[in-house]
Amino acid sequence: MPLPEEQNLARIAIVGCGNHSTRRVFPAFARQPMRLVGVCDLNEELAARNARRFGGEKVFSDAAKMLDETRPDGLVVCAGPEIHYRMSLLALQRGIAVYCEKPPAVTAADAWQVALASRKAGKLAMTGFKYRYGAAMEKVKRIMATPEFGTLSALSVLRCAGKSGGDPKNPRAQFLLDFCCHPIDMVAYLGGGVKEVFVHSPGPDNYAISAQFDNGAVGSFMFSSKGSWNRPVDRTEILGNQGHVISIDDQIFMQYHVDGAIREAHDPKFCTAGWDTLEQTGFEPEIRAFVQHLRGERSAESIPSHILESVRSMALYEAIKKSAETTQPQKPEKFG
């Protein structure tokens, strides 16, 4: 006899069987109440390989054909921002909800087109901005919503790793768009609307950013590929009322200090069976949110990274990019 959740399995198809999706997205399917009805990649051998590994029912090299033949409830796309944009429209025009990896498009204007298509179809479009879904971040948002923590007063972000890039004309090789879109999205998520940014950037892999938020809070963000992949740095400091400070390391570990004393912390132990990195880093929770929506258990408005949120993050990215290019302060564009 099937378990209750097996009586309402979400039917999901996926486009993209490269290294990232194979290591992070496909494994996140394992514990979800879903069927993988279609697996697609331009390299059909990769699609067949992942179908065998992860229980895919049919293999395709043509995404439109897959959607028309399998008619899934939702499409997952993990292939690069320009393909995310095209596949999102392809699915939404067929009345199919879509989850795509970050970023949702190359430009904020294209992301807005996805938002309009989502609205017209009445179907969810969401982005894999995993920083919004980790267990540590859930605690951070809960703490920030308390009267005791108060209103955000300052936000500092440091994210550094090793050499990044390649072809500057390839969106997937652009440091600011590909590597930095997660912390940029996190800034929008934690701080709300950004009024203005000013950027110092000696090159396309090194950024010092000053920001003022709509509520009057200030921000300082540094993104650099001058570090090492053997010792990447990902640290965030959030200040609220006097003495209230939240620190986040690697998006996994969190401490909340009040006048120097630890009030709350999140420090998972990965050596025990009770924790796993897909859960803690947000990959599994974001896929779970998508499946829950497809099963009618969660509204589109409750999805932290629905496409309207992604449009705002992309507008912030473009303001940072433009300020770096012009050496002038920039205000993020408003859509809708």
Residue spans of the domains in the chain: they are 4-130, 132-276+306-326
Q: How far apart are CA 281 and CA 45, in angstroms?
A: 29
Is domain 4-130 given the CATH code 3.40.50.150 in the classification? no
Alpha carbon distances (Å) from 111 to 48, 95, 103, 308: 31, 18, 9, 8
Other C-beta atoms closer than 10 Å to the C-beta of 89 total: 20
Q: Which two tokens stand for residue 168?
A: 């500057």
Which SS3 state, helix, strand or coil, does residue 328 take? coil
Task: Report phi then psi at 264, rounded to 5.
Answer: -155, 150
The reported pLDDT for the residue numbered 272 is 58
The reported pLDDT for the residue numbered 3 is 52
Alpha carbon distances (Å) from 285 to 26, 130, 135, 256, 291: 13, 8, 9, 23, 10
Other C-beta atoms closer than 10 Å to the C-beta of 297 total: 14
Q: What is the mean pLDDT of each run of 10 residues along the chain (336 residues)?
A: 66 96 94 97 97 97 98 96 96 98 96 98 97 94 97 97 76 86 96 96 94 97 93 95 97 95 90 69 94 97 96 97 97 94
The reported pLDDT for the residue numbered 1 is 41
The reported pLDDT for the residue numbered 311 is 97
Q: Which two tokens stand for residue 266?
A: 């999140």
The architecture of the domain spanning 132-276+306-326 is 2-Layer Sandwich (3.30)
Closest CA to 83 of 60, 116, 65, 106: 106
Full DSSP string of 238-254 = EE-STTEEEEEETTTEE
Contact 61, 73 (CB under 8 A): no
Q: How far apart are CA 298 and CA 300, in angstroms?
A: 7
Q: Which residue is associated with the tokens 């303001």? A: 319
